[in-house]
Structure 1
Amino acid sequence: MSKQRKSGFFAGVLVGVLAATIIFSFVTRYNKSNGSQQKNITTIKLAHTLDTKHPVHLGMVYMKKRLEEISNNQATLEIFPSGVLGSETKCIEMLQNGVLAMTKTSTSPMEGFVPEMGVFSLPYVFRSREHFWNVLDSKIGKDLLLKGESRNLRGICYFDAGSRNFYTTKKPVLTPEDLNKQKIRVMNSKTAIDMIKALGGSPTPIAWGELYSALNQGVVDGAENNPPSYYNNGHHKVSKHFSLDGHTRVPDMLVISSKIWKSYSPELQTWLQQAADEASQYQRELWAQKSKEALAAAEKEGAKIYYPDIQPFIDKTKSMIDGLKDTAVGDIYRRIQETK
């Protein structure tokens, strides 16, 4: 090889080595910077059973965004939707065992762990949506969030799940008498079953996933739920009568394992609580919007919306409330009624 060619060869090698060194140095610095960030991130796993279009899921997505912003990317949520980690009850049990950090659950399954949560399943407890949120934002609501601490379940915030209303296939429910001999699908809850019986109907517990077929095939004559669930699951197509009686307002809760909560630094606890509180405010506004949209869409597609006088329904279920005197749930009910 000539001297000139050798010189060119070694010059090329030197340039290549220098370029590689510069790139390696840049990548190393970048990775170290990113690596240290990644190393210090706290990832909080959160599981729930709702689909990714549900307003409550969107509230949790907003919470994830706010937690990352508030903590300067030192903490984040990893959300597992659509029941991929199991039912609400299963997720609650995983929290108790410290296997899962957080879950979203209705207060109905929480009754099995915190009996006081049964107050939300009682009929006509809340006078309006405003009264409902005044109670949940008060000391009553905050105290209830912490009632499960002895069971390793700490409530973080509430999410709006709307009011539950009757919808039927044959005729509208305008008075309690319209429920006579009608088979109404209910959740597998003693309180819900007792309420339908008090109103003269025949309560029929059926899994949520089987309800469309049950309505379509006449296995049941009706059901009860909130407007987004009524519309988004296509129930308006087979059950055309929707009566806005608002017999219950059963909120969703965000719950964390107490063991895991106590393992967090005070700073992380503050970040997480702030993100949850902001998400609760955001989600309740989103819920109101989605409820209006669901009713309008259902009506446009042939459903009929009714606004019955609820006083006869209240009178029919009064015995359920009277039976709670001198109980813990009865005391909470009394405090709720005293709240403006």
Structure 2
Amino acid sequence: MKNRLFHILILIIFLQSCKEDQTTKTLYLAHNMPQTHSVHKGILEFQKALRLKSGGKLDVKIFPDGQLGSEREVLELLQIGSVAITKVSAATLSNFVPEYHVFGIPYLFENKQHQFDILEGDVGKSILEKGSQFWLRGLCYYDAGSRNFYTSKKAIRTPEDLKGLKIRVMNNQMAINMINSMGGSATPLAFGELYTAMQQGVVDGAENNSPSFVSSNHYEVSNYYTIDQHSSIPDVLLIGTKFWNTLSDEEKQWIQAAADSSAQAQKKFWNASVEESMAIAKAAGVEVITPEKSLFQERSKSVLEQFQKAHPEMQSLINSIKK
């Protein structure tokens, strides 16, 4: 039934497109974020820039809030050409393009400047293009900040404070290894179950960026937020190659230029959302802690070593990033 309704929705979209001005080509863009999120605001900038750069020949119809399905479902729509563009986490894309796994390595980037020098340089662009063999071409990276610890009963000031604590993580081996290497007990759990799990003491804490910490209301069941910045996994704006290959060279240039412009705008929106979310958390009584990051970095070195042994083919990529 779900698939049937899904295909009916796509048919409705197609019929709507038949009624549009034939001088304008419309790109359908779907994502899972709420309209208050920096990603949606960045996508609105993409829409505005594309209209301007194409002189109205290209337009974007946006479907936010998961209207067209989950991240995985929308990726499948891109692959068959029913939807043109979406935004997903680089962690999700690692299931298709192994190189995206690298972004999950703890403390891979020295700071945000280093991160975006890499992402917007030759290394980052080459990874974006690798998805084309899976019909998923990357256009640009969006800022998704850094992941930090938050806990309910005990402040995390050093890695030793994690000992004995059950920390919720994504169901991702590198994330599990990272928490365990620092002395915590990694506990994979669905994000939607986390609020209740913290409330009932099933887990002692979790890790995520500050806008997610606040938008999920997890600050209501947490007393401490520790900005250790252990990983910085970006989001990726993608276009399906089925659609991309129907475009002229000029149209491709307009889309890429609009995407690049939106990426710069989204970073500013993201920084504003971080400031806003931290202000909300502090006002609610959450203690915000800035620890000595080098202590956490030292304890998590084994995660990189394990990854290098399991994926020796990634060594040159890691070297390119670290140098």
TM-score for the superposition, normalised by structure 2: 0.90
Is residue 2:130 matched to residue 1:170? no
What letter corresponds to residue 160 of structure 1 in structure 2?
Answer: D
| CA displacement at 1:275 relative to structure 2 | 0.8
Q: Distance in 2 between matches of 1:330 and 1:43?
A: 41
Matched, 1:97 2:80: yes
Q: Is 1:335 the counterpart of 2:320 in the alignment?
A: yes
Runs of 4+ in 1 over 4 A off after TM superposition: none
Cα offset for 1:107? 0.3
Percent identity of equivalent pairs: 42
Partner of 2:196: 213
1:294 aligns with 2:286: no
Match of 1:313 in 2: 296
1:1-340 map, 5 Å = 38-323=21-306, 324=308, 327-338=312-323
Match of 1:24 in 2: none
Aligned partners of 2:186 and 2:42: how far apart in 1? 32
Deviation at 1:36, TM superposition (A): 11
> For the structure 1 residues 273 and 165, does the alpha-carbon distance in structure 2 shift closer, same or farther, using more than 3 Å as the test?
same
**Given that residues 116 and 328 in structure 1 are in contact (C-alpha distance below 8 angstroms), is that contact kept between their aligned partners in structure 2?**
no
For 2:11, the equivalent position in structure 1 comes to none
Partner of 2:13: none
Counterpart AA for 1:56: V
* Mapped partners of 1:256, 1:281: distance in 2: 18
Counterparts of 1:217 and 1:106, CA distance in 2: 29
How far apart, CA to CA, are the structure 1 residues paired with 2:55 and 2:175?
Answer: 44
Moved more, 324-333 or 247-256: 324-333
Q: C-alpha separation between the residues in 2 aligned to 1:217 and 1:267? A: 56
Aligned length: 304
- The Cα shift of 1:168 comes to 0.5
Q: Distance in 1 between matches of 2:34 and 2:196?
A: 20
Deviation at 1:233, TM superposition (A): 1.8
Greater alpha carbon shift after TM alignment, 237-246 vs 67-76: 67-76
Task: Give deviations 1:212-238, integer Å, cap 9, x for gaps.
Answer: 222112121111111111112211111
SS at match of 1:278: helix
- Kindly indicate whether the alpha-carbon contact (under 8 Å) linking 1:37 and 1:74 is maintained by their aligned counterparts in 2: no
User: Superposition RMSD on alpha carbons, in Å?
Assistant: 1.6
How many Å separate the matches in 2 of 1:70 and 1:316?
48
Match of 1:29 in 2: none
Looking at structure 2, the residues matched to 158 and 70 of structure 1 have their Cα atoms a distance apart, in angstroms, of 20
Query: 1:5 aligns to what?
Result: none
Structure 2 gap ranges (5+):
1-17
CA drift of 1:274 comes to 0.9
Give the match's secondary structure for 2:244: helix
CA distances 1:4-46 after superposition (whole Å, capped 9, x unpaired): xxxxxxxxxxxxxxxxxxxxxxxxxxxxxxx998111111111
Contact kept in structure 2, 1:118 and 1:329, CA below 8 Å: no
The residue identity in structure 2 corresponding to 1:132 is: Q
Tell me, in whole angstroms, the C-alpha distance in 2 between the residues paired with 1:119 and 1:198.
Answer: 18
**Structure having the higher Rg:** 1
CA distance in 1, matches of 2:200, 2:26: 46
Residue by residue over 1:154-188, the C-alpha shift from the partner in whole angstroms, topping out at 9 and shown as x without a partner, is: 00010000000000001111111111121111112
Taking a change above 3 Å as real, the CA distance of residues 306 and 82 of structure 1, as seen in their structure-2 partners, is same
**Amino acid of the residue matched to residue 167 of structure 2?**
I
